[in-house]
Structures are given as structure tokens and as C-alpha cells.
A and B are shown apart, each in its own frame.
Chain A
Amino acid sequence: AQTVTQSQPEMSVQEAETVTLSCTYDTSESDYYLFWYKQPPSRQMILVIRQEAYKQQNATENRFSVNFQKAAKSFSLKISDSQLGDAAMYFCAYRTYNFNKFYFGSGTKLNVKP
């Protein structure tokens, strides 16, 4: 079975600075999908960004971008110009190409300091 590892239980960043959250995964598949979800204190799970493994170009969404290293099985999230509203739990997730199965990491709590 696939596993997703987030090695940073908690991180802090100063407002307006940049922070990178790490995620690694284990798989034998060549095609799959990767996601970062944000869970603020409201507890709603919000999709931040998605990456298809067959795409070499790293995905970006405004201040959020990923560094996808397929050979290294690494999928980190970079948040630029951090804002107070970015404070949340961030989950890395893997979806199999077939069978619609999802695997989540244990989460990283991001604190943003004013």
C-alpha cells in the first residue's frame, strides 16, 4: 500500500515570509495524483493545489507552489508571502491512478507569526 509521510509535525513562519512544507510518499505506480489540503480551525478541508504525476511542470496557485520530484518521490509545498490566514493544518495526499484510493499524511501544523 502507498504511504505518505509528512516529517514536520509543526512549523512556524513570520508573516510575509516564505515557508516550505515537506511530503514524501512511497509507491510503485508511475501514474498518480498528489494534493495539498488545508484545514483551518473551522475544520473544513480545502484543496490548495493538485499535481498530476505525468506532468513535469510544477503546479502553482497564486502564492502556493509545489516542488514535485518524481524520482525522489517528494512533493513539497511552498507558501510565499505568508499571511495570517494561512495558519492551518496542511495535509499531503496521494491518489492512485486506478481504483480511486486516497492516502493522507499525518499533517503539518503551520503557525504564522505577525
Chain B
Amino acid sequence: DTAVSQTPKYLVTQMGNDKSIKCEQNLGHDTMYWYKQDSKKFLKIMFSYNNKELIINETVPNRFSPKSPDKAHLNLHINSLELGDSAVYFCASSLEGGAPYEQYFGPGTRLTVT
């Protein structure tokens, strides 16, 4: 059983397009995250939701909009894609207030903007 799943795993699109990445976790976790990993492998937190409420919103362009329909899902919509958006995007989840304490990651979505 996949714990944290993301779709699609690969996304190739042109500048100016709008795209979405979906994430689902079946671990019963209450917190979900989006990270961006650039070509130098640095992991940058973008957003975090706890029980559907936004709790972390780092300095991310307004073109990026997360949506959490329920605590098992966190989607990422990107408007007007730019070349600099090319990266791997990871979804992750964790449980607040109890074990296990670590984050569980999805397989990542490699976004390529041409």
C-alpha cells in the first residue's frame, strides 16, 4: 500500500500554462506539506496544512496555490508556469503530537517547463 502518493510523477509543459499536482496520504496523518527541490537538491518548504488549515506559507509566488479538500489530500496548482518553476516537487505528511515523528514523503513530481 502506498503511504503518500503523488500524481503525476512527471510533468512536461510549456511556459504560461497552468498545471496541478495531486497528493494523497493514507496514513491518517493530520499535517501535509509541499516542498520544492531544485537542481542543487536543496529542499525548500513551500506550504504546510494541518487539518485542512494553512499553517506555513513561505515566500512563494502567488502563482502557486495549495488546496486541501480534506486532511488526506493536498493539491498544488501552479498558474502561468515559468522556466524557473522546473524542479522536483515533493508532498509529505506527518502526525502532530505523537509517534511516529518523522515525515513521510511521496515519490516526487518532476516538473519541466519548456
Contacts and interface: CB of A to CB of B under 8 A. Distances in A.
Contacts of B103: 45, 93, 95, 102
**Max chain B Cβ within 10 angstroms of own Cβ: one of A35, A43, A47, A93:** A43
Query: How big is chain A's contact interface, by range?
Result: 20 to 34
Given A44-B105, A50-B101, A100 B42 contact: no
B105 A104 contact: no
Nearest to B96: A100
Contacts of A91: 43
Given A45-B90, A47-B102, A50-B101, A104 B43 contact: yes
B56 to A, nearest CB: 7
B94 A100 contact: yes
B45 interface: yes
A106 B50 CA distance: 25
Contacts of B92: 45
A45 B93 CA distance: 12
Interface in B51-108: 55-56, 88, 90, 92, 94, 96-97, 100-105, 107-108
A21 B16 CA distance: 42
Contacts of A101: 48, 56
A44 B107 contact: yes
Contacts of A89: 41
A9 B31 CA distance: 30
Given A43-B108, A89-B41, A100 B31 contact: yes
A96 to B, nearest CB: 10
Given A100-B31, A100-B96, A102-B33, 10 more contacts: A35-B102, A37-B105, A39-B41, A45-B108, A50-B100, A93-B103, A95-B101, A95-B103, A107-B42, A107-B43
